[in-house]
Structure 1
Amino acid sequence: MHKSLPDKTKQFFFVLIKLSIVVGAFYFIYHKLLNNDSLNFNQFWRFLNDTKLFSVKNSLFLVGLSVLNWFFEITKWRYLVSKARTLSFLEATAQSLGSLTASLFTPNRIGEYGAKAIYYLKPLRKRILLINLISNMMQMGITVILGSIGFLFYYKTYEININYFKLSRGLLILIALVTLVSIGITQSKYKIKGFSLIKIYDFTYNLGIKYLTIGLLLSLVRYVIFSFQFYFILSLFNVPLHYWDAMIIITTLYLLASIIPSITIFDVLIKGSVAIYLFSLADITALPILSCVLLMWLLNFALPSIVGSYFVLNFNLPKTKN
């Protein structure tokens, strides 16, 4: 049916899809700013003005950290995808930011997989999907490792009421899940993002230690940048926490927020709820925490997705000669 359509009709629908993605992304950003259930926009704006966040020095530094964050994400993607195809930095930028825009309102940014794969011809798309999965697993791995360390310090530092019955029940569920996953590894039918665990393991193993190590290091650099950015914003909001104390909470926050399934546009709400609880035990009020979470989302998701809309509008399907 697709092949029977006239070329002009195909082009019209293609342009319509790209416009829909961009308009949808802008609408969600607008909705999150002006219809935020957890933080009123006028209150947020007054708070930013009162803390003089919009000074030239602060603004340039914060945007610079966001640019640096995405620079390393783009560099990581360019390096990881080199196993399938050599990309220029501009091509890697278009794929990274364009896929961000396209996946902004999809659950757990799952739309990123299809958005990146569509930049390549069909013979390469499965490999690109696997590389993107490995890239996200690397970032998740860094988040889990550092977050687990942070959580241990958080547990020792603050008094947390733990229901040991629910905890033991959760551990039993976890053990059962690990057992099922272990069985699933031996079964090719068990899949993640459409790929069997055996295939993912073999593909990852064949990439080599050097390749994986560099990918993990780039993921670590990204983590250090955006976690420091979080701390820097807190310091601008006059939150009375030393760097070490703040990082204990921040790493715990990213750990807990990363394991909760969500649509990216609701990431602010989820992170905000978790952050309020975590920082409340350090006697920090909700307003600066919610403002920090929202500002982090604007700097690292909304702003790059606006830039990415340019690449979405200028996207063309790959040609055979490429």
Structure 2
Amino acid sequence: MTTNKNIKILLNYVIGPLVFCLLAWSIYRQLLRQNNWQASLKHAWEAMMGAEAWKMVLAVVLMFANWGLEARKWQVIIKRVQHLSFIQSCKAVFTGTTLAFFTPNRIGEYMGRILYLDEGARIKAISLTIVCSMGQLLITWWAGIGGILYLKAYGNTELLHTFAGLWLNLVLYFAVGAAVVLTLFYFRLAGLVRWIEKIPKLQKPVSYIRVLDNLNATILFRILSLSILRYSVFIGQYFLLFDVFDVHVTAAQVAGSVSVIFLVLSIVPTIAVITELGVRWKIGIEVVQLFDSNITGILATSLAIWIINLVIPALIGSLLILGIKVFNNRK
């Protein structure tokens, strides 16, 4: 009992504040390393104080819709091993976002979420959480493929004949192959589990993923539907913020450009706290300039999206780590 109490004190009063301070420091260092960060911040500040400020506020409100949909999606799939309330699911998702901030391609998200589950359900929950992420990744890849085709058809012809056109083709070929494989894998999870069960040496690992055998087509399509809604929220945020920062693009151009940005972000190895902002800026410039040359506006939009969708949720999650409830003993 004394050992458990000491561990809880360490986690809540040492690790929690340390994570919060490290997050704040890393954000500051990340901004200092980026070119044009002062111009982007100045532009963002002027926009927030101007007549278009309501669009910025709406984009922040949509952040809660974004993560609320993700929390609902996780709640739906995780009930195969444990029932959680929507509020508990939201807390788990925000905590996962904090840990994801420090890990390559957000893999720490899984560890943050399972803190809210009973010990006996945690390992099984990892496989379910991966399926949840697979649903979002499927939407990201197929939408990105459509976005590349749109850019190639309607983007700036001169720029498409440069290096931009070459890397778009490379990403397209990779994405098509990967999306087809992932789609087949996603809808054949139960069959995969039954196939693995036939291998004697894998009996112990398969006990942790046998829960996937209960995921029927209805559940999988529900996950995809929530993923599409969440993806639509992303597009809406970009549309609002491009307008705020005077990047003149139509709704179709926003959808096409943003889908390619998300596609590349899902493929390129990044760590949110170190490299993701720079990657977002670089991809945003390369893609959106096919329709508008306002580089400062593109940088400001990418920065605002990064802060709204990643930094604020990560800060919320770091505050939740401070709460004793995250580390309470569970029955």
**TM-score (norm: length of structure 1):** 0.82
CA contact (8 A) 2:124 2:211 kept: no
Aligned twin of 2:297: 288
1:304 is matched with which residue: 295, 309, 313?
A: 313
Aligned twin of 1:48: 44
**Does 1:67 pair with 2:74?**
no
CA distance in 2, matches of 1:262, 1:82: 31
What is the Cα deviation at residue 205 of structure 1?
4.8
Aligned twin of 1:220: 228
Identity of aligned residues (%): 22
What is the Cα deviation at residue 233 of structure 1?
0.5
2:149 is matched with which residue: 149, 152, 160?
A: 152
Aligned twin of 1:317: 327
What is the Cα deviation at residue 80 of structure 1?
1.6
* Higher percent of residues as helix: 2
Q: Secondary structure at the match of 2:79?
A: helix
CA contact (8 A) 1:25 1:102 kept: no
CA contact (8 A) 1:107 1:263 kept: yes
**Does 1:276 pair with 2:291?**
no
**Root mean square deviation, CA, Å:** 3.2
CA contact (8 A) 1:78 1:92 kept: yes
What is the Cα deviation at residue 221 of structure 1?
0.5
**Does 1:21 pair with 2:19?**
yes
* Greater mean deviation of Cα atoms: 293-302 or 109-118: 109-118
CA contact (8 A) 1:102 1:111 kept: yes
What is the Cα deviation at residue 187 of structure 1?
7.7
CA distance in 1, matches of 2:39, 2:61: 25
CA distance in 2, matches of 1:214, 1:258: 22
What is the Cα deviation at residue 49 of structure 1?
3.8
Matched residue type, 1:243: A
CA distance in 1, matches of 2:237, 2:166: 34
Per-residue CA deviation, residues 180-232 of structure 1 (Å, 9 max, x unaligned), is x99xx78899xxxxx78x986x6545311111111111111010011111111
CA 281–23 in structure 1, closer or farther in 2 if over 3 Å, else same? same
**TM-score (norm: length of structure 2):** 0.80
**Does 1:81 pair with 2:78?**
yes
Q: Secondary structure at the match of 2:36?
A: coil
* Greater mean deviation of Cα atoms: 45-54 or 212-221: 45-54
**Does 1:99 pair with 2:107?**
no
Per-residue CA deviation, residues 97-122 of structure 1 (Å, 9 max, x unaligned), is 11111221111111111222232233
Aligned twin of 1:31: 29
The alignment covers a number of residue pairs equal to 301
CA contact (8 A) 2:92 2:115 kept: no
> Unaligned regions of 5+ residues in structure 2, if any?
186-191, 200-204
> Unaligned regions of 5+ residues in structure 1, if any?
190-194
Aligned twin of 1:192: none
Matched residue type, 1:45: L
Aligned twin of 2:117: 120
CA 153–163 in structure 1, closer or farther in 2 if over 3 Å, else same? closer
CA distance in 2, matches of 1:13, 1:117: 19
CA distance in 1, matches of 2:267, 2:253: 22
Per-residue CA deviation, residues 42-95 of structure 1 (Å, 9 max, x unaligned), is 322321244456655234312111111111111112122111111112211111
Aligned twin of 1:250: 258
What is the Cα deviation at residue 145 of structure 1?
0.8
Q: Secondary structure at the match of 1:110?
A: coil
What is the Cα deviation at residue 271 of structure 1?
1.4
CA 54–62 in structure 1, closer or farther in 2 if over 3 Å, else same? farther
CA distance in 2, matches of 1:286, 1:147: 22
Matched residue type, 2:329: K
